[in-house]
Amino acid sequence: MSSSTTLHNIEKHIPIVGDVHTKSPIAYRATRLAVSTVNAVQMAVAESYINGLEVPDSVLRALFDTCMPVFFKYFPSLLAPYEWVLTETDRTAEGPRDLMKIQYDLPQAMLNPMLGDSKLIYPKYSMGLWEKGATNLEQSQIQMIDDVIEKLEIQDGDHILDFGCGWGCVPNYILSKFPNVKFTGINLSHHQCEYMRHKMQDPESYLSSGRFTLYEGDLNDAQFETKFDKILSIGVFCHVGNLTQAFQKLASFLKDNGRVFIHIITVRTPNNISSVFTHKYIFPHGRYWKYDAVPSHNKDLKTIQRWYLNGFNYSTTFANWLKNFDDSQATVKDLDYGGIDYAKFRRIWRFYLIWFVANFASCDGEYNGNGQYLMVHA
């Protein structure tokens, strides 16, 4: 028996450490009990800050910088606050209405200055690519989309489906590069769809070119008359609870020789992760799939190539969003945040942004980053 096999056999009886999926029943129950303690401590810290406890940013950062490497390296099972985080659920979209209310239907006047909003790069709530030398947020988002174009091998004349198209940033940019590409976007957020409908009437927007079609609704309900050459999805699958169902649906939209490109937040740990704080305040029912999760599903689509993008890229993106958010306080403090007091809303978002700057930078970005997957019909 090899030493690694011996270690594995020992670890399955020890709570907390190692792969939670292989634990003995007693060790698993003990691990889940420890998770409940971590959850309680995490929420006590977060809600103390949210409710007005004055904590300098440097102290918050030091707390995250100290704790997260320990969790990622030694105790990743403690980062799965609920059992449903560890596996697929029976729903493709997780808590979609709660998600829209808490996250994606916030005032546009708050989101635009934070995320960036220019003639070509509309608000884009996903990673910018900094490792190729970008010097500002807009440039990092352009380089990220250019990277997608290269990896997906987009060609002029392609008909592309964008699953979870946000505010239309990616279609708008790609349409500007290829005069004969056509896009169809799927989006569940009514507010984001209204933003795109406005752009579809703006002669300066490439969404008004007649080459962009918008479908407002759930992926499960979508039906299209034609199949697509390419399908892309950027930053959406952390809100997808069932990869099997989602891939089956996407495969049904794809031409026989078509390709799918998925970009997600990922973790290089034995299990998927989430947090009680983000579940309550930021991404209801969200989970960050482990890096091997997508390739392990090969019934309808199979992964032919994958890339791990170091967390430095997303940490730097979050740092820019945090600065933009802080710089815009004078103009966003009087907006309607759905009945939430602005001082509380601001502290929720600062806690989130500061934490994620640290999260993705933790362990030199090698544990929590972004995964990209190129897929074809299985």
Model pLDDT for residues 104-163, shown as the tens digit of each residue: 678 999 999 999 999 999 999 999 999 999 999 999 999 999 999 999 999 999 999 999
Model pLDDT for residues 284-304, shown as the tens digit of each residue: 889 999 999 999 999 999 999
pLDDT band at 378 (very low <50, low <70, confident <90, very high): very high
The pTM for the full model equals 0.95
Q: Average pLDDT of 295-318? A: 97
Q: Average pLDDT of 273-282? A: 94
Q: Average pLDDT of 247-265? A: 97
d(CA 238, CA 234): 10
d(CA 343, CA 275): 23
Other CB atoms within 10 Å distance of the CB of residue 217: 12
What integer pLDDT is reported at residue 373 of this predicted model? 98
pLDDT band at 99 (very low <50, low <70, confident <90, very high): low
DSSP secondary structure of 250-296: HHHHEEEEEEEEEEEEEE-SSS-B--HHHHHHT-TT--B-BTTTTTT
What integer pLDDT is reported at residue 7 of this predicted model? 63
What integer pLDDT is reported at residue 3 of this predicted model? 64
Residue 228 has pLDDT above 60, yes or no: yes
What integer pLDDT is reported at residue 337 of this predicted model? 87
Structural tokens at position 250: 């996407």
What integer pLDDT is reported at residue 89 of this predicted model? 86
What integer pLDDT is reported at residue 359 of this predicted model? 97
What integer pLDDT is reported at residue 340 of this predicted model? 86
Q: Tell me the CA end-to-end span of the chain in Å, nearest whole number.
A: 36
Q: Average pLDDT of 184-201? A: 95
HSE-up of residue 84 (Cα within 13 Å, Cβ side): 15
Q: Average pLDDT of 180-197? A: 96
Model pLDDT for residues 38-91, shown as the tens digit of each residue: 999 999 999 999 999 999 999 999 999 999 999 999 999 999 999 999 999 887
d(CA 327, CA 204): 28
Average pLDDT, the chain: 94
Residue 346 has pLDDT above 80, yes or no: yes
Give yes or no for a contact between 80 and 172, defined as CB atoms under 8 angstroms apart: no
Q: Is the dihedral of CA 213, 217, 220, 222 positive or negative?
A: negative
How many residues are given for the chain? Answer: 378
pLDDT band at 338 (very low <50, low <70, confident <90, very high): confident
Contacts of 1 (CB under 8 A, 6+ apart): none
Give yes or no for a contact between 104 and 189, defined as CB atoms under 8 angstroms apart: yes
